[in-house]
A and B are shown apart, each in its own frame.
Chain A
Amino acid sequence: MTRSRKLRQWLLGGCVMLVLLMTAGPGAVLGREAIAAETMASGWSNFYYWNVAGTTLRPRDSSLDWDNDGIGGCLFQTAGSTGEIFNIHLDLPPGSRVDYLRLFYYDTSGATSSAWVTSYNNAGGLVDRTSVTSSGSAGYATLSPYLGHVVDTFNNSYVLNWRSNQLGNSMRLCGLRVAYRISVAYTFLPVVMKNA
């Protein structure tokens, strides 16, 4: 085979590939979901945090009583059903991705408190996205499993919740910290194209 014949075959092969690309689009090569996933994997910022002190949560039910640890950082339930819940609005940037929830606590009780993130669709639907519990009586912080939920505030409101499962200052909520990332997938594109 002559050198020019080889070159011609390479070029023709390239042309055929390009025609296929143009007619079917990039999604036909990798799959659109795969491209989206690939973009997402490399298109997120470093961690940002939504960090709330325990004493900024309030009960969902007015029958509950509560107090704080004196310095004002940790909250505990003093009366009412231990099945009730303290909550606070969670306001993350739309389109950001919630990766983890960390619970900071003081626990010398035999019970276990739990914290979680819930989304409500304002039409009666709710989803508990991730949860974490205080573990044993020695620790002070536990981390949830990885979540990877993309915030959609068009359809959902988000709430942080905590249930003490124990009355008294042996079970305190000291803080909740949500680790999230912001999408940076399109920031490299020109402004005109980003807004197209």
Chain B
Amino acid sequence: MKHKRLLMILMTMVGIAALGGAAFVVAEPPAPEVSSATLYREPQPAGLSEMPVAGAMPDEDGYAGPVVEAQIEGGEASGEGGAAAPVDWEAFFTEPQPDEDAGVAADDVSIHAWSNFYYLNVTGTALRPRDSTVTWDNDGTGGCLYQTGGSTLEIFNIHLHIPPGSRIDYLRLYYYDTSSNSSIAWVTTYDNEGGVDDLINVSSSGSGGYGTMLSPYLGHVVDYASDSYVLNWRSNQTGNSMRLCGLRVAYRLPN
């Protein structure tokens, strides 16, 4: 009888200790290397000495004070102003698009192991030339880029990083084109040892101004252990009659 009572006490205490241990693990994750509070207490350069402790600002967890909403629509922040007539890219779509979830058949067995679409969307003016002999400008809004000098065979590029193991399905090119030439965008992989592979490409079409074109389906699973990925654009035309307004990569995550 005595043993039974002792056993019951022991079991109860083990249970309580287990709960306490779990609470300890949840409540105390490893501390970050340098806490913001510690950093903010260190001497700050002139103008930054008033920085508050962590949690006191709207962009920090735990903040409960008033929030001032952004009121910079229309481009006041850059002073550049918006486009006189903003482009309605959706107006170019007269039917469901294969790089949008609404355009994919529900019974498409090829997507069952993958998530809905995610997008990496890059503004044209974020790209830079691979060669410093090339000069460039933007359309005034800062969204569309065009080449102003240098060989039209040169290339503008930007690093492409999407979640490891995800699948690139499509590349969409947004452009302004009143030229008789066509620009081209593509995705390249480099193995850092001299190997290169252009995975997919898409060209601007016609000369009617703003437009968007979609690449064929790719279905490439990214592998950053072996390759780096780059977005490229070649204008094939100098001047603002050929502009790169954006590149959008449609990808899926493994389910």
Contact = CB atoms under 8 A, between A and B. Distances in A.
B224 A175 contact: no
Contacts, number: 154
B159 A88 contact: yes
30 contacts: A8-B3, A15-B13, A18-B13, A22-B16, A36-B31, A40-B30, A47-B225, A51-B229, A53-B188, A53-B190, A53-B230, A55-B130, A56-B157, A56-B228, A65-B132, A73-B228, A75-B130, A123-B39, A124-B44, A124-B48, A141-B192, A152-B32, A152-B33, A154-B36, A155-B39, A174-B190, A175-B228, A185-B29, A193-B22, A193-B26
6 interchain residue pairs of minimum CB distance:
A175-B192, A104-B192, A73-B190, A49-B224, A56-B159, A65-B132
A53 B192 contact: yes
A71 interface: yes
Contact of B193 (A49, A52, A140, A156): A140
Q: Determine chain A's interface SS by DSSP, over half rule.
A: mixed
A72 B128 CA distance: 13
A49 B188 CA distance: 17
Interface in B160-200: 161, 164, 188, 190, 192-194, 196
Contact of B20 (A25, A53, A91): A25
A109 B29 CA distance: 48
Contacts of B34: 152, 155-156
Interface residues of B, number: 56
